[in-house]
Amino acid sequence: MVDYIVVGLGLAGISFCEVLEKEGKSFTVVSDTSQQASQVAGGLYNPVILKRFTLAWKAKEQMELAQPFYAGLERKLGVQLDYKVPVLRRFASIEEQNSWFEAADKPGLDHFLSTIILPNSNTCLDAPHGFGEVNYTGRMDTGTLVEFYSTYLDQKGILERESFNFSDLTIEEGWVSYKSIHAKQVVFACGYGLQDNPFFNYLPLNGTKGELLTIKAPAYKEDRVIKSSVFTIPLGEDLYRVGATYKWKDKTNEPTEASKKELLDKLTTFLRCDFEVVDHVAGIRPTVVDRRPLVGRHPAHKNLYVLNGFGSRGVLIAPYASTQLYQCIEHQNQIDPEMDIQRFTKKYYRD
């Protein structure tokens, strides 16, 4: 008998496993490679929605948890994951500059938005109106995190690399069994794979396809994230990640020529140097109709839980949501109502 079975090993699953280890709980993880959102993500953590100059949901609380959380993971895994990289918002006009200053005066945003307009000094960038800088930003190498954490669990003998087969799940009063594993609780942290979960597929998880390019641009020489109509993220060795697209109809992990053209068309509106595309990846973000995570206990099965719906902000949300779910399960603490799946309970009984 273990305390938990965790299904899925993206940002959500890894974050919950970390909470379990910290609290001395036993667990087994079941995960396949069907969901790639965490592996291919840009990995930016940024407390500000740069399209509208507004503070992201619970950004300050999430930042306070995320920084020590990922520092602990780096020490445990012996690998660098967190790259402190400035994020600069390219201004398209004087009006955008003015909107930035107005936003920087607002409570909460004043902590994250610099009021110094940075002039452009990079000849490879078309940015006559300069940049605004967001404080306390960076890039999390999510692909390396998933790879090293999987190896870590493998070495402990607690990772089952397989698709979860629901016909092998038996639910009893106070415990569950999955094949030869007996556990007190199951937490499903399987991203867009939630669509195939017969217990939680009533939840309105849409899924948004995102595609990213990696380019090699030797002349660019930019060590900051530049956000315009798309972002460029420095990866080192003259490589930059470019993204991202948002598509609601295509639910495959296959990159498309249409999205590649869209990214390149937007990139060349402000990048003024030669480059070549060296990689093109895609994944389905687990997005929700009300743009809030899906966290909590199943309405009827009291030992089944879900941890999902982080969208494009999983790096920041994952430690926050995982901690709240654990406190709910073990100490009956209330989950933040905005992300508690109780908000969809009527939909479960109606469907």
Q: Mean pLDDT for each consecutive 10-residue tract of the chain (351 residues)?
A: 96 97 97 70 89 94 95 97 96 97 95 96 98 95 94 97 96 94 97 94 93 97 97 96 92 94 98 98 92 97 96 94 98 97 94 71
DSSP alpha helix (H) spans, the chain: 11-22, 37-40, 59-77, 94-104, 142-156, 257-267, 314-331, 345-350
Q: What pLDDT does residue 36 have?
A: 63
CB 132 within 8 A of CB 91: yes
| Token code pair at residue 151 | 């190896």
Q: What pLDDT does residue 33 have?
A: 74
Phi-psi region of 8 (alpha: psi -120 to 50; beta: other; left: phi over 0): left
Give the span between the Cα atoms of 58 and 316, in whole angstroms: 9
This prediction has a pTM of: 0.94
- CA-nearest of 270, 225, 267 to 245 is 267
Q: What pLDDT does residue 37 have?
A: 62
CB 250 within 8 A of CB 256: yes
Q: What pLDDT does residue 312 have?
A: 86
CB 118 within 8 A of CB 95: no
Omega before 244 cis (within 30°)? yes
What is the layout of strands, in order, in the sheet containing 87-90?
131-134, 87-90, 225-227, 231-236, 239-243, 208-216, 276-285
